[in-house]
Structure 1
Amino acid sequence: MISYKERHQVKTKSKTNNLKTTLINIDYLILSLEGQPFGDFPENSEFRFKPYDYGTSIFEVRADLYFQDLKVGTYMSKPRSSIISEQLAHLQIENNLFYTLSNEHLKNILTQFCNETNYLWKSTNRLDICLDRSDINHQYRNLYNNIVDGNLLISGRPKNIQSYFETFKGKSILNGFQIGKRTSDKIIRCYNKTLSLQLTEKPYINEYYKNNGLKNDNVWRFEYQLNSAFFRGLNEHSKADESVTQSITWGIFDKANLYELLKIATKGFFELRENTGKSQINKEKLVPLFDFEKLQSEISKNVPIIKRLKKIMLSSTTIKKRLAKSLFREYYCNNQDISYIVALNLLLEDMDMTTEKPLLYWFKNKLHFYLHEFRTKEKLVNDFDTPLFTEHQFLFL
């Protein structure tokens, strides 16, 4: 027979474990696919499209994608703009699947979809990673006030901060805050998920908490929204190993890689430090909110292979692109003077560090956009002989 003391110890241990539990998951995902625009699936396929009568502001085609009777997400293809490759398509995954399916199961469905459509998951357009934990000491609730009052400092460049209040039982309650703008390559949101689930019911998240040992009592969520610009600054250690080259696409279904992405996103953007009045912020003591190394090691012993390119490389690439645009402007304004195309062609042979392809690939997509800009915004109205330009490119490349 179990004594009262033993039962009490079991309950206390269980309660402590629930409070310490930190859950990491994907909450939002848009895949950028590359391939020929896809029509419809054959009759024997487990996939099917349910098309909309209208598309979006970016894509002409929009349809819900189903696997058997399960809605996988929304498929979009055929870009309206001529400066976007016609081979680009997006697939936005349904939110509930990240909580009701295992990562491996969802990955297998998407793999099968790509195999049947011959699409390549080339990059990630948007990825939201969430960390959920019980706020027993009100650390996260008080975090906003500590930042606003100057008790804690945020290192790095100036950032936009917005607070969010909700009315609950007639009272206005701080439900969280956001750091970063919509145009930023990353945005961080911190909010009371327990209150949010009371305002907007999502039973599958409550069930997800229950199945993973997290009591839905004052749970706060840190949500990192990583946009396409963030992923351009990432690079793999080796392009020879296929498993390495796919680490920031298919690899995101490994939760150890999600922690690595959070470490990269946090560094230099949301590093909190004490405020003791020192002249330089980086001399203040760091106040970590999460021990990413420890949380990562609890999930996997494998060393993640994702890294961010050094800023000096990205800056060099940006300078080259600006120079290429300037040379093309001079070539256009001076009646396609051949002297400018020589320098432009030599420059376009250099490597684009964001894609690891020659700058020529980037310039081909920008050519018509630049011509339109010169004529409309800069009022530089000149004739442009496209066959002559093509001849000049082939002659000197």
Structure 2
Amino acid sequence: MLTINSNCENTEKKEKNPIKCNGIQLDHSQSAWFGVDYLVLSFKGSPLLKGQKSLKLDMHQYGNRTYKKMVDVYYSPSTDKPKEKYFIMNFEPKSEIIESDLVQIKLENHLFYTRSMQDLKKEIETITELLGISFHSCSRLDLALDVHGNSHGISTSLKQLNQGTLLFAGRPKEIAFYTKVKKGVVTCNGVGIGKKSAYKYCRIYNKTNEILIGKNSKPYILDAWRSVGFDIESMNILNYDYATNGQKKNFNRDTNNDIWRYEYQLNRAYLAKLKDFTFDNIFDKHFLFSLLEEAKKNHSELKYNTGKSEINKEKDFLMLDFKKIAQRIKAVRGVIERLPRTIKDTFIGTQRLIKGNLRNYFSYGQKLEFLMPIRQILDSNPILKDWYYSKVSNYIYEFKKDTKINFINENLYNSHFELYC
């Protein structure tokens, strides 16, 4: 019988279920950090930029592909502390098909590690109230769970996934392993599950290694890890010296204590399927942990083949035991309620149909017969409409590079699109 986890002793005779050798059951007393790592929010209104004594606003010289104006917003909750950057704000959409009063903000990464989510919520509410904008939706939300990789057998599990010993559950999906070669030995540092452009995308990777090889060591992440009980000193990160040219010097370190990150990237289409999703939910630890657990279902779950002569040879394999992790971080599970299924299984197919029609519209001299079906589909499905508005500028940018499309008149497109509003 095949032993699933190399961290366990040979259990060929004693242990009938290899799953008991895996995951957090190896050492469930280990620390864990959970929170948000990336957040983009959409608001409505016309930002009040003048007379803001409580804020510091730095206007960019140029906008981006979607918005004409970009502003760095600085704030301090205390008058005796210097203002720090909270987010970058984009407003005044270039395209007429995007609502003119839509405002998008991307929060700075350090905020999620340097204060509680409830404090951050109050601060964002204060800033957006000063700016005169109101919450509309969440465009992207990345949830991160950091654990000791060795205690959870993550590195070993990734090797077995690559070898086919462990299997991914659910439908066919794209998988990308992150590897490097050192002294001829291939090391797996993580895996990406799904497409980054999909409504959800999973990453499992060595976060300690990423911090060491990155340009920015992000000391606030180390402080957050230390606050939940991770032994940063034993990881030897603090002894990782910087050379004068900005490159980090090589040195030998014990990788057994490396921290691994289990992360889900969720976009607006996925979040729109949640019942009564509100601004408060984004800063609620119990809701977010339940959301992470919900996202992994039929996506990043693992199985193993028992090798027995039974009808169902595949059994669930726990790389992470969410029940015990929830106890560790004091999170309540199961608070997510999803809307009755209104999105059919052909949702992704419909997205492809829309993009194909849009490509044909530009390829054949912007003929209306290709644009009319798109409007009919979007008007009947508000979730698809939100998705379309978030993607159309990227699609047009992509089509402009297509040698088969000679010319794109965006003004004509906007007028055609508005004809069927």
TM-score (norm 2): 0.66
Matches of 2:89 and 2:305, distance apart in 1? 48
Residue 156 of structure 1, aligned match among 164, 170, 175? 170
Structure 2 match to 1:235: 274
Q: Alpha-carbon deviations, 1:305-331, whole Å to 9, x = none?
A: 4425526657589879989x99xx9xx
Shift of 1:27: 0.8
Question: C-alpha displacement at 1:149, in angstroms?
Answer: 1.2
Which AA in structure 1 matches 2:274? N
Q: Verify: 1:222 aligned to 2:262, yes or no.
A: yes
CA contact (8 A) 1:185 1:226 kept: yes
1:1-397 to structure 2, matched below 5 A, reads 20-36=30-46, 38-44=47-53, 46-68=54-76, 69-137=83-151, 139-166=153-180, 173-200=187-214, 201-216=217-232, 217-232=257-272, 234-236=273-275, 244-246=276-278, 249-276=279-306, 284-296=314-326, 299-301=330-332, 304-307=335-338, 309-310=340-341, 313=344, 315=346, 352=381, 354=383
My pick for the range that moved more, 20-29 or 314-323, is 314-323
Q: Mark the runs of 5 or more structure 2 residues left unpaired by the alignment.
A: 1-25, 77-82, 233-256, 362-367, 393-398
Q: Which amino acid aligns with 1:193?
A: K
The residue that corresponds to 1:12 in the other structure is none
Contact between 1:313 and 1:353, CA under 8 Å: does it hold in 2? no
Decide whether aligned partners of structure 1 residues 33 and 100 sit closer, same or farther in structure 2, where only a CA change above 3 A counts: same
Q: Quick check: 2:174–2:194 contact (8 Å CA) kept in 1?
A: yes
The letter for the 1-side match of 2:305 is N
The 1:272/1:94 distance shift into structure 2, 3 A limit, reads: same
Deviations 1:183-232 (A, max 9, x none): 22111111112222222312111111111112243111111111223223
The answer as to whether partners of 1:18 and 1:215 remain within 8 angstroms in 2 is no
Q: CA shift at 1:50, angstroms?
A: 0.6
Tell me the SS of whatever aligns to 1:251: helix
Q: Tell me by how many angstroms 1:291 deviates.
A: 2.8
Q: Name the SS for the 2:130 alignment partner.
A: helix
CA separation of 1:142 and 1:366: change in aligned 2, threshold 3 A: closer
Contact 2:87 2:105 in 1 (8 A): yes
Question: 1:110, 1:175 → 2: CA distance?
Answer: 35
Paired residue type of 1:218: D
Tell me the matched-pair count. Answer: 342
CA–CA distance in structure 1, aligned partners of residues 291 and 190 of structure 2: 22
Displacement, 1:65?
A: 0.9
Counterpart secondary structure, 2:229: coil
Q: Distance in 2 between matches of 1:104 and 1:34?
A: 22
Gaps (5+ residues) in structure 1? 1-15, 237-243, 334-339, 368-372
Q: Percent of counterpart pairs with the same letter?
A: 29
Q: Which has the higher contact order (CA 8 A, sep 6+)?
A: 2
Of residues 222-231 and 291-300 in structure 1, the stretch that sits farther from structure 2 once superposed is: 291-300
Residue type of the alignment partner of 2:155: R
Aligned alpha-carbon RMSD (Å): 4.6
Q: Residue type of the partner of 2:34?
A: I
Mapped partners of 2:333, 2:258: distance in 1: 33
Normalising by structure 1, we get a TM-score of 0.70
Q: Show CA shifts across 1:62-115 (max 9, x none).
A: 121100311102111122222222222211111111111111111111111222
Displacement, 1:29? Answer: 0.8
Query: Given that residues 142 and 263 in structure 2 are in contact (C-alpha distance below 8 angstroms), is that contact kept between their aligned partners in structure 1?
Result: yes
